[in-house]
Structure 1
Amino acid sequence: MSDLLFVYGTLRKGNSNKMAEYLSVHAEFLTEGWFQGHMYQISYYPGVIASDDINDRAYGELYRLIDPETALAILDDYEECSAQHAQPAEYKRITTPISTMDGNIFEQVWIYLYQWPITDKLLIKEGDFMKLLVES
Structure 2
Amino acid sequence: MKIKITKIIDHGHNDERIVLDITEDTDIGEYLVMDTTYTVQGQVSNKVRHPYWFPDKKVKKNDHIVLYTKKGNESSTVNPNGSTSYFFYWGLNSNVWNNDGDCALLLHVDQWIHHRVTIKNKEK
The alignment's TM-score, normalised by the length of structure 1, stands at: 0.23
The alignment's TM-score, normalised by the length of structure 2, stands at: 0.24
- Flag the structure with more relative contact order, 1 or 2, with Cα contacts below 8 A and sequence separation at least 6: 1
**Greater gyration radius:** 2
